[in-house]
Structure 1
Amino acid sequence: MAINANKNSRLFISPTPVVPDTINAMDDGTAISFFQAINDWIEVEEIEDLGTAGDTSEAITFTAINNSRARKLKGPKDAGTQSVVVGRDPLDDGQEALIAAEATDYNYAFKLVLNDARSPTHSKSEMYYAGMVMSKATNLGNVSNVVRRNFDVGINTGVYEVLSDSLAAPVNTLLPSISGVVQQGETLTALTGVWSNDPTSFTYQWQEDDSGWADISGATGKTFVPAAGQVGNPLRVVVTAINGAGSTSATSGATADTLAE
């Protein structure tokens, strides 16, 4: 057993609205699978305080005349309002996603990753929930203060926890893909797909089909610019996810034939 500091914990928001009633109707395992299938998470940077999140039951009390002893029962559960304090950064995509969410009446999914892995072969705990962003107040302070924003998230689902455990090698749950125009001189970008078991890094190998799939020499970055030699050939990328327990590779689908300039 071990405790952990909050240092290096990370908060993510999905910009796609969700329906809390649908999530609340799921059992815990199904709800966790729902959140883990989300693939558009945006990290919120410059967080100073993550606040609190999790159920508290309303206390229902009853006192019988014959014994004058108050008895307490559990009433409705409330997962609370999470108060997230950040250093204001107008160029941070995560903060901008929170601001955009506050402007709507919709609920959004959140993922909190705790820095509690006890060794490189253990995963980090994750917490999932959904709620409305209720505020985006700017905390200006005095001349010596960092300008902050206070985001309050009214949580409308349970807080579902996936606890740290012995880590297995990454498992791909959504194949990698390629974005961009497949044309000589245009930049293509490898999208890593979705992986379980907390990958810590990724490697890339671009391939072309020229009478059979073969590695393109030196094409090992996240981006690739097709040259004249790739014109007329389809492309794909092999993404390898790595963590402390090992590595696993997955291959994207093939593009159309590469066009000339």
Structure 2
Amino acid sequence: MAIHSNAGSRLFFSPVSVNPDTINAMSDGDAINFFAAINDWLEVEEKEDIGTIGDTSESINFTAIADKRVRKLKGPKDAGTQSIVVGRDPLDDGQEALIAAEGTDFNYPFKIELNDARTAGHSKSVLYYAGLVMSKANNLGNVSNVVRRNFDVGINTAVFEVASGALSAPVNSLLPSIAGIAQQGETLTALNGSWSNDPTSFAYQWQEDNSGWTNIAGATGITFVPLLAQVGKPLRVIVTAVNGAGSTPATSGATADTLAE
């Protein structure tokens, strides 16, 4: 069975504006690559309804006198106005970003991830598009209602779809890096970098340079606090991305020699 429900679908918004004319001038493949390269997506939480999106052609009609038959031609395409209904949550960064976008005249990227993967070895379908946030109305209702907020998005590009398919192992497109100062007692944090093929989880292994890179025992979390044993040594982290098709490691650059506290 190939049909699926909307349960589990996810909606993302990027707060960095884009030019829809530039996107519309791209091929479908280039547009998908453009959206896929965006790395500042914010998930919009507490969604109840994410509406209808996608092209509808305006009907251009001509009626011939002789046969009294209406002939229909395709006119301009309209990807629609998406109506998004959420449970009002002032602590959700995604909702707050949409509210801020409504106060501008700019177009912003959107992404919907459908929950339609048939097996753990398949990707989920993804829809990309850009548009104007047209409204942010509060839907208050009666005493027994959950307070909702309605966002309308005027879509100004095509809706570009990446269909579900068999997964390949993750591929790294931007190497991991390390945030923080390499110093005894100070927390370092691994930044995953960028990956394609939908990683579902990440694993970490911190290393030190002992005239050759060696694993630090037990240092397998996203953060690491250098100890006295690491003083004077550079550090790095190996990030391994995992999905249903396999796993792929990528290694960060090295820090400077670890400082004493």
**Structure 2 residue identity aligned to 1:124:** K
226-235 vs 11-20, which moves further: 226-235
Q: 1:245 offset after TM fit, Å?
A: 1.1
Q: Residue 15 and residue 256 in structure 1: after superposition, are their counterparts in 2 closer, same or farther (change >3 A)?
A: farther
* Pair 1:85 & 2:85 matched: yes
CA distance in 2, matches of 1:148, 1:64: 50
For residue 123 of structure 1, give the secondary structure of its aligned residue in structure 2: coil
CA distance in 2, matches of 1:140, 1:90: 14
CA distance in 2, matches of 1:185, 1:97: 36
For residue 217 of structure 1, give the secondary structure of its aligned residue in structure 2: coil
The CA deviation string for residues 189-226 of structure 1, in whole angstroms up to 9 with x for no partner, is 21212211111111111122232222121111111222
CA distance in 2, matches of 1:245, 1:178: 27
* Pair 1:236 & 2:236 matched: yes
Corresponding position of 2:142: 142
**1:54-73 residue pairs with structure 2 within 5 A?**
54-73=54-73
**Structure 1 residue identity aligned to 2:251:** T
Sequence identity percentage: 77
For residue 17 of structure 1, give the secondary structure of its aligned residue in structure 2: coil
Structure 2, unpaired ranges of 5+? none
**1:155-234 residue pairs with structure 2 within 5 A?**
155-234=155-234
CA distance in 1, matches of 2:105, 2:229: 52
Q: Residue 224 and residue 157 in structure 1: after superposition, are their counterparts in 2 closer, same or farther (change >3 A)?
A: same
Q: 1:92 offset after TM fit, Å?
A: 1.1
For residue 22 of structure 2, give the secondary structure of its aligned residue in structure 1: helix
The CA deviation string for residues 163-199 of structure 1, in whole angstroms up to 9 with x for no partner, is 0111111111221122233333222221212211111
Corresponding position of 1:117: 117
Corresponding position of 1:2: 2
Structure 1, unpaired ranges of 5+? none
Q: Residue 255 and residue 99 in structure 1: after superposition, are their counterparts in 2 closer, same or farther (change >3 A)?
A: farther
CA distance in 2, matches of 1:223, 1:205: 10
| TM-score normalised over the length of structure 2 | 0.95
**Structure 2 residue identity aligned to 1:40:** D
The runs of at least 4 consecutive aligned structure 1 residues that moved more than 3 Å come to none
CA distance in 1, matches of 2:249, 2:240: 4
* Pair 1:251 & 2:230 matched: no
| TM-score normalised over the length of structure 1 | 0.95
CA distance in 1, matches of 2:189, 2:103: 31
Corresponding position of 1:52: 52
The CA deviation string for residues 9-67 of structure 1, in whole angstroms up to 9 with x for no partner, is 11111121111111111000111111111111111111111101111111111112222
For residue 229 of structure 2, give the secondary structure of its aligned residue in structure 1: helix
CA distance in 1, matches of 2:143, 2:184: 53
Corresponding position of 2:14: 14
Corresponding position of 2:35: 35
Q: 1:229 offset after TM fit, Å?
A: 2.5
**Structure 1 residue identity aligned to 2:163:** L
Question: May I ask how many residue pairs the two structures share in their alignment?
Answer: 261
Q: 1:259 offset after TM fit, Å?
A: 2.9
